[in-house]
Chains A and B, each alone.
Chain A
Amino acid sequence: MATIIDIPEEKAIEVNNFDFTYAGASDPSLKNISMPIAKNKVTALIGPSGCGKTTLLRSFNRMHDLYPGNAYNGEIIFEGRNILQEKEDMIKLRTQIGMIFQKPTAFPMSIFDNVAYGLRLKGIKNKSELRDRVEKALKDAAIWKETSARLKDDANGLSGGQQQRLCIARAIAVEPEVLLFDEPTSALDPISTQGIEKLIIELKEKVSILIVTHNMQQAARVSDYTGFMYLGDLVELGKTEELFVTPAEKLTEEYITGKFG
Chain B
Amino acid sequence: MTHVEKRILINKIVMILSSLSAAVGIAFLLWILTILVINGIDAINWNIFIFEGAPPGYEESGLKHALIGQVMLIGVATLIGVPLGILAGTYLSEYGGLKSKLANTIRDISDIMMSAPSIVIGSFVYAIFVAPFGHFSGWAGIIALTIIMVPIILRTTDDMLQLVPTTLREAAFALGAPKYKVILQVVIRGAKTGILTGVLLGVARVSGETAPLLFTSFNDNFLNTDLSEPIASLTVTMFNYATSPYEDWQKLGWAAAFILSMFILGLNILGRLLLMKRKSK
B175 touches A109 (CB 8 A): no
Partner of B186, one of A63, A98, A108: A108
Q: Which residues of A (37-69) have their CB < 8 Å from a CB of B? A: 61, 63, 66
Contacts of A90 in B (CB 8 A): 176
- Can you list 17 A-B contacts (CB < 8 A)? A63-B173, A66-B169, A91-B178, A94-B173, A95-B176, A99-B170, A101-B170, A103-B165, A105-B168, A107-B171, A107-B172, A107-B189, A108-B190, A118-B176, A156-B281, A170-B175, A171-B175
Q: Which residues of B (213-256) have their CB < 8 Å from a CB of A? A: none
Bound: A102/B168 CA distance, A: 11
User: Nearest residue in B to A90 (C-beta to C-beta)?
Assistant: B176
A107 touches B176 (CB 8 A): no
Partner of A105, one of B171, B185, B281: B171
Report the minimal beta-carbon distance from B228 to chain A, rounded to whole angstroms: 43
A101 touches B171 (CB 8 A): yes
Question: B272 interface residue, CB < 8 Å from A?
Answer: no
User: Nearest residue in B to A92 (C-beta to C-beta)?
Assistant: B176
Binding site for A on B (CB under 8 A): 165, 167-178, 181, 185-186, 189-190, 281
Report the minimal beta-carbon distance from A105 to chain B, rounded to whole angstroms: 4
**Residue interface bits A116-135, CB-to-B below 8 A is 1, else 0:** 01100110000000000000
Interface of chain B, helix or strand or loop or mixed?
helix
Contacts of B186 in A (CB 8 A): 107-108
User: Nearest residue in A to B168 (C-beta to C-beta)?
Assistant: A105
Question: A174 interface residue, CB < 8 Å from B?
Answer: yes
Report the minimal beta-carbon distance from B188 to chain A, rounded to whole angstroms: 10
Partner of B174, one of A92, A99, A102: A99
Contacts of A122 in B (CB 8 A): 176
Question: A167 interface residue, CB < 8 Å from B?
Answer: yes
A66 touches B171 (CB 8 A): no
Bound: A63/B176 CA distance, A: 11
Bound: A66/B173 CA distance, A: 9
Contacts of A66 in B (CB 8 A): 169-170, 173
- Shortest 8 CB-CB distances between A and B: which pairs? A105-B171, A94-B176, A99-B174, A95-B176, A118-B175, A108-B190, A91-B176, A108-B189
